[in-house]
Amino acid sequence: MSTLPLIIFLLALCSVGYWFGSKKALQVSAASGQAMGRPHQFGMYVAAWGLLPPLALAVLWAAVSVLPMDAEGAISQQVNQVVFPALILLSATLGLYLSIRKISPELRTRKTLERIVLAVLILASTISIFTTIGIVFSLLFETVNFFDKVPVLEFLTGLNWSPQTALRADQVGSSGAFGAVPLFVGTLLITLIAMFVAIPLGLMSAIYMTEYASDRFRATVKPILEILAGIPTVVYGFFAALTVGIFFRDLGDAIGIDIVSESALAAGVVMGMMIIPFISSLSDDIIMAVPQSLRDASYGLGATKSETVRKVILPAALPGIVGAILLAVSRAIGETMIVVMAAGFGANLTLNPLESVTTVTVQIVGLLVGDQEFDSAKTLAAFALAMVLFIITLSLNVIALVVVRKYREKYD
């Protein structure tokens, strides 16, 4: 039996149990003449007993089937198809039967039910931890495997990246080279360009929006700017590859500079465009949080608005703004689709924004899309790169949080 019908059947079984349970509770209460809890509580109680044993069984089963087992795939297939559903249904029926029998005036169901509910709630909130553990372990595992084949030092300091491993041992370049420095430099370059676009535009619009704009202007323009944040990155990628990249290339042709159509410039500019609302709304909140008394004091001393902004508000808001910028940087480093579509796959070690570079995320996609066996250095390299990405973005986020929390000026 496959999963979905099994689940539906199980739920139907428990509904029947619920019905029986609540009915029996009414009968017992009438027969004994004693006050009891509400019938639906007894129904829920019975249904819970019908659901929990199969659930425990399923978890156990999943844990066992995940463990590596030797051969006999055919048998386990049969077991999966027949024995497992039978066990599930048997345990459910047993749970329902026993719990219905237990219904009596002395049974206190609410406490038990609430304990179960609380357990489920706790379990749900630990899923975030399991996700993190899952990320760290899946990355760590393959990364360690990768470093068995390629030395850490070569990965972190090597200047040559060509992960193509050949099919035969005697082919040219059969070993592949895994020096990731060109990728780091490429990522850095594109992130820098993105920040050159996003920081001035985002910050200046936040300043104008908070200090100069009328309420009506703010109310119309702010949501429009935030549209930029809601556009899927694949759309930016398409825009970067087809419109901006071509535009820069033609522009270069017109003034006699050689710009490739997959230049770091195009990818960086479009990425900066994506990040503008990120910086502007974060800085907006931060500038708004600077107390009015500071502004008034500055105006009272005769400063103009721009002097107030530059000499009072920005310094006061600086920790927050730095935090926002760090968050934006981590987002730019982790951004995938724009660079996959608009930057190249070739690992050039260059700082020239007019040439094509490649980034960490582009290489992860390049290494993992398509079919390949799972133990080659090529595939494992993607996990090592992802590990680097994970560590860098996470530390940037942590630093940003610390900066904001620790250096925030507290007025009031």
Partner 1 sequence: MTDTAQSSHSRSLVRGEQETPLLAKRRKAEKRFKALGLTAIIIALALLAILFYSIVSKGYSAFAYTSMKLSVTFSEQVIDPKGTREEAALRGASYGSILRDALRKEFPDVSSRSDLRKLFSLPSKGAALELRDMVLDNPDLIGQTVTVEITANDDLDMFNKGFIKRDVAEADRRIKDQEIAWFDQLDQAGGIELKFNSRFFTSGDSREPELAGIWGAMVGSFYTLLTTFLISFPVGVMSAIYLEEFAPKNKFTDIIEVNINNLAAVPSIVFGLLGLALFLNVAHLPRSAPVVGGLTLALMTLPTIIIAARASIRAVPDSIRNAALGLGASKQQMVFHHVLPLSMPGIMTGTIIGLSQALGETAPLLMIGMVAFIVDIPGGFNDPATVLPVQVFLWADSPERAFVEKTSGAILVLLGFLVIMNAMAVVLRKKFERRW
Name which of residues 341 to 380 contact partner 1 (CB under 8 A): 341, 361, 364-365, 368-369, 374
> Stretches 13-21, 50-58, 75-83, 395-403: which one binds partner 1 (CB under 8 A)?
395-403
Q: Which residues in the 166-185 window bind partner 1 by CB under 8 A? A: none
> Stretches 16-24, 120-128, 172-180, 346-354: which one binds partner 1 (CB under 8 A)?
120-128
Which stretches of 158-304 are DSSP H helices? 181-207, 215-230, 233-239, 245-255, 264-289, 292-300
Q: Which residues in the 265-294 window bind partner 1 by CB under 8 A? A: 273, 276, 280
Hey, what are 398's tokens? 């942590």
> Taking the alpha carbons of 299, 303, 307, 312 in that order, is the dihedral positive or negative?
negative
Question: Among residues 183, 347, 389, 404, which is the contact residue for partner 1, using CB under 8 A?
Answer: 389
* Residue 22 CB contacts under 8 Å (≥ 6 apart), including other chains: 39, 40, 42, 43
Beta carbon of residue 123, minimum distance to partner 1 (angstroms, whole number)? 8
CA distances from 264 to 154, 267, 276, 404 (A): 25, 5, 18, 31
Q: Which residues in the 23-62 window bind partner 1 by CB under 8 A? A: 62
Q: Is 333 in the site for partner 1 (CB under 8 A)?
A: yes
Q: Is 228 in the site for partner 1 (CB under 8 A)?
A: yes
Per-residue contact flags (x/-) with partner 1 for residues 147 to 166, judged by CB under 8 A: --------------------
Q: Is 89 in the site for partner 1 (CB under 8 A)?
A: no
What is the C-alpha to C-alpha distance for residues 231 and 32, in angstroms, rounded to an integer? 65
Specify the length of the chain in residues. 412
Nearer to partner 1, 259 or 273 (CB): 273
264, 183 in Cβ contact below 8 A? Answer: no
Q: Are strands 161-162 and 177-178 parallel, antiparallel or unpaired?
A: antiparallel
Nearer to partner 1, 134 or 151 (CB): 134
Q: Is 75 in the site for partner 1 (CB under 8 A)?
A: no
